[in-house]
Amino acid sequence: MKGKKIIVFGGGLYALRNMWLDVANYGIEIILVEQDPDHIARDSVHSFIHYDFSDHKLDHAHACQIEKLIHSLGIKPDGCLPLNDECSILAALVTESLELRGLTYKSAVIANSKSQTQNALGLHDSLHLKNVSDCDMLPGR
């Protein structure tokens, strides 16, 4: 991963403050896209882009704007990922628009919908896993 440029959506909580320095020490360049202009990671990442993507109903429009910002800054990322579930669809849209490896839009939509996740896994409403031994009830086991 050394030398890679990764777009990260959402800076996370204060508890993650040391993670950004650790990532930089590994030689990974983080391009952080964050809603909070004063986020604690602002000075710890390679590039910081303040962008208000709080209305996730507009994720397609946000993805277009963020893609333009990335291009205008001359950034050539190697990957893109969300730091939290809220940003997964947006990250997937940007991943696909920039033709990067990573989360696809379809998989993000499925993962964000409990019923679609259950359908994708072939689970039925009557199946409720309560402990490790219940995994034997999963399809294909």
Please answer whether residues 41 and 15 qualify as being in contact, where contact means their C-beta atoms are separated by less than 8 angstroms: no
Distances (CA, A) of 116 to 60, 72, 104, 109, 129: 20, 36, 15, 8, 17
Question: Is it the case that residue 117 has pLDDT exceeding 60?
Answer: yes
Domain boundaries, the chain: 5-103
Burial class (CB in 10 A: 0-12, 13-18, 19+), 5: middle
pLDDT value at position 12?
82
Q: What is the pLDDT of residues 23-81, one digit of tens each?
A: 999 999 999 999 999 999 999 999 999 999 999 999 999 999 999 999 999 999 999 99
Contact 82, 90 (CB under 8 A): yes
Q: Structurally, what CATH architecture does the domain formed by 5-103 represent?
A: 3-Layer(aba) Sandwich (3.40)
Q: Rounded distance, CA 64 to CA 86, Å?
A: 18
